[in-house]
Amino acid sequence: MGKSNLAAEILLFTDGACSGNPGPGGWAAILRHVESDKEKKISGSEARTTNNRMELMAAIEGLRAINADRRHRVCLISDSQYVIFGLTQWIKGWIANDWRRGKKSNAPPVLNVDLWKTLYELSQQHDMTYEHVRGHSGHLENEECDRMAVAAIKDLKRGND
């Protein structure tokens, strides 16, 4: 793990998946309390969605699963540049531009603005750091989140048969 994890008390690993884009999608998160090494695994699915929405849902639901009784030091670890860059580079500009992708009033709105607003609000409740990992590169927790997200899609499809 990178140095950014050393100060974290909770590691939040996330991934999203989609079967078709759009299509049925799944998301997954693993929360690990660093000191105790206790883990919580969560996942879910949506019938018609996109990969980016599932990446966002994984982060949202992971943050929702953290006890909100106080601020925590959380390191969000994702293979989604969309999520990581969105939270670290793009979001301040989006907010300044009233959730638009440019300064002009006719600039297009940010895609998935509903989820971005929720994710931003949740991220403000904690002291956040972020780490991007390459997907499908053997990162243990990222691979597990991928398996869980794909399994959530399969469970959804089985339920619709």
- Per DSSP, the residues of 74-139 read EEEEES-HHHHHIIIIIHHHHHHTTSBSSSSTTSPBPTTHHHHHHHHHHHTTSEEEEEE--TTS--
Report the CATH number at residue 47: 3.30.420.10
Active site residue 16: yes
* pLDDT confidence bin for 7, thresholds 50/70/90: confident
Give yes or no: 69 in active site.
no
pLDDT in tens, 146-159: 999 999 999 998 98
Beta partners for residue 130, in sequence order: 76
Write the pLDDT tens digit of every residue in 54-97. Answer: 999 999 999 999 988 899 999 999 999 999 999 999 999 999 99
Neighbours of 43 (CB within 10 A): 23
C-beta separation of 139 from 147 below 8 A: no
Between CA 82 and CA 10, with CA 69 as vertex, the angle to 5 degrees is 45
Q: Is the dihedral of CA 56, 87, 117, 12 positive or negative?
A: positive
| Active-site residue flag, 61 | no
Is a pLDDT exceeding 60 seen at residue 2? no
Name 36's Cβ contacts closer than 8 Å, sequence gap at least 6. none
33 is catalytic: no
Query: Which among 35, 37, 69, 136 is annotated as catalytic?
Result: 136
Residue ranges making up the domain that contains 123: 3-160
Element (H, E) at 142: helix 140-160
Residue 136 annotated as catalytic: yes
Catalytic residue (choose from 46, 79, 131, 141): 79
* DSSP secondary structure code for residue 99 in this structure: S
Would you say 28 and 58 are in contact if contact means Cβ atoms under 8 Å apart?
yes
Work out the pLDDT band at 8, boundaries 50, 70, 90. Answer: confident
Percent of the chain at pLDDT above 90?
86
When divided into structural domains, the chain yields a total of: 1
- The single residue of 25, 26, 44, 55 carrying the catalytic annotation is 55
